[in-house]
């Protein structure tokens, strides 16, 4: 049974440390955050790493596409100094390195499959293969993606692990069919654009509703009152402090 906390750290604790790094995961752990959300994609030579963008430029001192760069080059990049001098030398972690830190800190994980174009199935397959060898807590793992092919791959490869269907701002009309087809355990929605009427409709599925990425405590409380189960946040400590005690 999936044990979701009320607040999940987004890309670790992105408001306080460079996103998707070991430093960001540890920062979240130090705040008492129980779960984090991390993005996984593949290097050119197929190594699963924790990274969000297709391009390296925004959060590293490198350039070019992740899909066109081998892991030997990826591991040399600095993924911290763009954020602040104190994070100079932070690296892009492999999926395995990130999971080691999660296990060390007794944390749960929402792993978002974030494939480079054309690698939807491969990314899910490689990531889940690695995960299946090192992760055994079924109650604290959620595999999510915007990509239906990635979720179908997860369904085929690790059917007993919970899956989350991610929606962009516009929720597709056929979402109940998608949720049923993919046998998902959660619906993950954009909490900043979500309307109350949409929330009520989604709740009819009787699945946990997760809202991303909420950094305003008042909005978090409003969503909680609407029936949202978990909230992703860059500032998880702030949201945790301000949430209502019970639904």
Domain chopping of the chain, boundaries: 7-242
CATH homologous superfamily for 7-242? Phosphatidylinositol (PI) phosphodiesterase (3.20.20.190)
Cα(83)–Cα(16) distance, rounded to whole angstroms?
A: 9
Average pLDDT, the chain: 96
| Dihedrals phi, psi of 154, to nearest 5 degrees | -65, -40
Q: Are 23 and 11 in contact (CB under 8 A)?
A: no
Over residues 218-237, the mean pLDDT reads 97
Give the pLDDT of residue 245: 65
| Pairing, β 162-166 against β 108-113 | unpaired
Residue bearing tokens 């959060």: 59
Average pLDDT over residues 200-207: 96
Q: Per residue in 22-75, pLDDT tens?
A: 999 999 999 999 999 999 999 999 999 999 999 999 999 999 999 999 999 999
Where in the sequence numbering do the catalytic residues fall?
10, 52
Give the three-class secondary structure for 147.
coil
Mean pLDDT of the region 177-194: 97
Question: Above pLDDT 70, what percent of the chain?
Answer: 98
Q: What angle do CA 145, 151, 156 make, to 5 degrees?
A: 155
Residue 247 has pLDDT above 60, yes or no: no
Span 100-137, pLDDT tens digits = 999 999 999 999 999 999 999 999 999 999 999 999 99
Total H helices, total E strands in the chain: 9, 9
Rounded Cα distance, 89 and 123, in Å: 26
CA distance linking residue 235 with residue 67, whole number of Å: 30
Q: Can you list the positions of beta strands (E) in the chain?
A: 7-10, 35-42, 48-50, 108-113, 141-145, 162-166, 186-190, 209-212, 230-233
d(CA 98, CA 26): 10
Query: From CA 238, how far away is CA 6, in angstroms rounded?
Result: 12
């Amino acid at each position: 049974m999936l044990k979701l906390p009320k607040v999940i750290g987004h890309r670790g604790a992105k408001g306080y440390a460079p996103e998707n790094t070991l430093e960001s995961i540890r920062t979240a752990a130090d705040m008492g955050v129980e779960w984090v959300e991390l993005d996984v994609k593949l290097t050119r030579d197929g190594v699963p790493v924790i990274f969000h963008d297709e391009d390296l430029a925004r959060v590293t001192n490198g350039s070019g596409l992740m899909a066109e760069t081998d892991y030997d080059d990826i591991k040399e990049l600095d993924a911290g100094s763009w954020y602040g001098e104190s994070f100079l030398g932070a690296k892009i972690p492999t999926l395995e390195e990130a999971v080691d830190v999660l296990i060390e800190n007794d944390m749960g994980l929402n792993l978002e499959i974030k494939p480079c174009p054309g690698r939807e199935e491969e990314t899910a397959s490689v990531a889940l293969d690695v995960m299946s060898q090192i992760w055994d807590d079924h109650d604290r793992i959620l595999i999510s993606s915007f990509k239906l092919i990635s979720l179908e791959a997860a369904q085929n490869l690790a059917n007993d692990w919970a899956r989350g269907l991610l929606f962009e701002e516009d929720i597709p009309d056929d979402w109940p069919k998608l949720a049923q087809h993919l046998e998902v355990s959660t619906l993950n929605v954009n909490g900043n654009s979500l309307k109350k009427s949409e929330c009520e409709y989604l709740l009819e599925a009787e699945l946990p509703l997760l809202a991303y990425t909420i950094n305003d405590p008042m909005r978090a409380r409003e969503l909680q009152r609407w029936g949202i189960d978990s909230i992703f946040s860059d500032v998880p400590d702030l949201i945790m402090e301000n949430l209502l005690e019970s639904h």
